[in-house]
Amino acid sequence: MAGADAAGDEERRWRSRRRAALLLWTAFAVVVWNIVFDAGVVQAGREYLTRQALHQQGRGPAVTIREVMHPEVARAAKVATLSGGAVAGGGLLAVWVAARRRRAAALPPRAE
């Protein structure tokens, strides 16, 4: 009976750790998304300011903030989503591989 309780406790601990790992990978993916998106928006703002300064010096066409920022923000969202998705996918894959290895280690050896 004690062996069954110990196995049940171990299984509950494993599920808890797996859930924690999934939550941490998800949080990491969200952080990566925010960092990449923010960097894209900052770069778009710099591009707008550069083009506006060139226009004021008479070295470029007039630009509006919408004309510069709108496509760049959309691009930043796309790149951030791909980056965050890659991190989330890598985390899910790592947890899945760990679960498969754990199950394989728990199986009794094959009789040949």
6 in a domain, yes or no? no
13 in a domain, yes or no? no
What number is the average pLDDT over the span 48-70?
96
11 in a domain, yes or no? no
Distance CA 49, CA 64 (A): 10
Distance CA 84, CA 68 (A): 24
* pLDDT at 110 (0 to 100): 72
Question: In this structure, are residues 20 and 49 in contact, taking their beta carbons and an 8 Å threshold?
Answer: no
**Per the structure, how many domains does the chain have?**
1
Q: Which domain holds residue 100?
A: 25-105
14 in a domain, yes or no? no
Q: pLDDT tens for residues 4-16?
A: 677 788 889 989 9
Q: pLDDT tens for residues 8-40?
A: 888 899 899 999 999 999 999 999 999 999 999
59 in a domain, yes or no? yes
